[in-house]
């Protein structure tokens, strides 16, 4: 039962990684950009939730909604101000990557300027009871994290596969030039993708704050990196793959910590990535794409 409990705990943590990994996968799927600033959107969402909930005294639902909307708008603005012109000019990928790192550093320093570098304590946002299934005890926060991630994945799949904007996203991903010829506004589609990915990161930030109760300007660094690992592990560009990768990393971390290896959890995470990519370079659910010369 202890093993099963640790698996559920890992799924709860992995759900946060999965929500952030979805943003990485969406953006990469559309413009083949690794948006390393995406991890810091989690930090932005956490601080906006802190301002709304603690400083402004908003009710929980309002603080969460403001955080999601703020991050969504921030994602669109970042795309327009930092990436849009580079994408239009066909800039080298390294230029986009350096810009993403620059945006990340800017967000970290801005948060320090506004809130200082000291950690802020977050109150418990949702009641944390224990669900008992025989001898197995599972935290209600863990169940909340898992259910939220599953619902978000299903909603995202429906958005991509069943809506008009979803079809535009898939067309832009396949061939942006052909999509333009078919009358699709690829610029708006890319901006929308950034907005949705950032909104998902805000949901992940709320779950993170409710789970760990502490936020710092640098919290998005390792969290974003692990979410990126989850996206690559599952097959970057694949929505189910991002979820699967997040769950695998969360469970691996939980089991490693339970076995007394808390100091090597990060090494285990990256070790799993290396092993999987050696066997399946495209990731667990990724597809090998042949490029014509």
Residue 109: how many other CB atoms lie within 10 Å = 12
Digit-by-digit pLDDT tens for the chain (293 residues) are 578 888 888 999 999 999 889 888 888 888 788 888 888 999 999 999 999 999 998 999 999 999 999 999 999 999 999 888 888 887 788 888 899 899 999 999 999 999 988 989 988 888 777 777 777 778 888 899 999 999 998 999 899 888 999 899 888 888 888 888 888 898 899 899 999 999 999 999 999 988 888 899 998 888 888 888 888 888 887 888 889 999 999 999 888 888 877 788 888 888 888 888 888 888 888 766 554 44
C-alpha–C-alpha distance, residues 79 and 142, integer Å: 33
Among residues 61, 60, 63, 58, the alpha carbon closest in space to that of 48 is found at 63
What CATH number has the domain bearing residue 48? 1.10.3470
Domain count, the chain: 1
Residues present in the chain in total: 293
Please report whether residue 236 resides in a domain.
yes
Please report whether residue 119 resides in a domain.
yes
Please report whether residue 291 resides in a domain.
no
Please report whether residue 11 resides in a domain.
yes
Range of the domain at 69: 2-279
Angle at 83 between CA 187 and CA 95, to 5 degrees: 135
Please report whether residue 285 resides in a domain.
no
Please report whether residue 289 resides in a domain.
no
| Residues 6 or more apart whose Cβ sits within 8 Å of residue 25 | 231, 234, 236, 237, 238, 239, 241, 242
Please report whether residue 284 resides in a domain.
no
Please report whether residue 108 resides in a domain.
yes
Cα-based torsion angle of the residue sequence 63, 64, 65, 66 in order, rounded to the nearest 10 degrees: 50
């Amino acid at each position: 039962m202890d093993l099963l409990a640790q698996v559920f705990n890992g799924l709860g943590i992995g759900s946060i990684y999965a929500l952030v990994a979805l943003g990485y996968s969406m953006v990469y799927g559309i413009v083949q950009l690794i948006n390393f600033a995406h991890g810091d959107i989690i930090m932005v969402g956490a601080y906006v939730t802190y301002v709304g909930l603690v400083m402004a005294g908003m009710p929980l639902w309002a603080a969460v909604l403001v955080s999601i909307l703020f991050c969504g708008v921030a994602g669109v603005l970042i795309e327009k101000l930092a990436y849009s012109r580079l994408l239009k000019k066909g800039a080298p990928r390294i230029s986009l990557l350096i810009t993403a790192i620059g945006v990340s550093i800017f967000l970290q320093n801005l948060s320090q300027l506004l809130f200082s570098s000291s950690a802020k304590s977050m109150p418990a946002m949702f009641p944390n009871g224990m669900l008992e299934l025989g001898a197995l005890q599972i935290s209600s926060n863990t169940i909340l994290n898992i259910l939220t991630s599953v619902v978000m994945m299903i909603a995202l799949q429906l958005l991509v596969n069943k809506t008009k904007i979803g079809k535009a996203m898939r067309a832009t991903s396949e061939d942006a030039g052909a999509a333009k010829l078919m009358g699709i506004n690829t610029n708006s589609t890319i901006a929308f993708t950034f907005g949705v990915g950032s909104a998902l990161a805000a949901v992940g930030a709320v779950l993170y704050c409710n789970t760990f109760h502490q936020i710092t300007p640098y919290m998005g660094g390792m969290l974003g990196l692990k979410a990126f690992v989850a996206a690559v592990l599952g097959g970057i560009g694949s929505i189910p793959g991002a979820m699967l990768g997040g769950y695998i990393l969360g469970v691996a971390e939980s089991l490693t910590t339970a076995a007394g290896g808390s100091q090597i959890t990060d090494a285990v995470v990256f070790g799993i990535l290396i092993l999987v990519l050696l066997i399946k370079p495209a990731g667990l659910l990724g597809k090998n794409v042949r490029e014509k010369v």
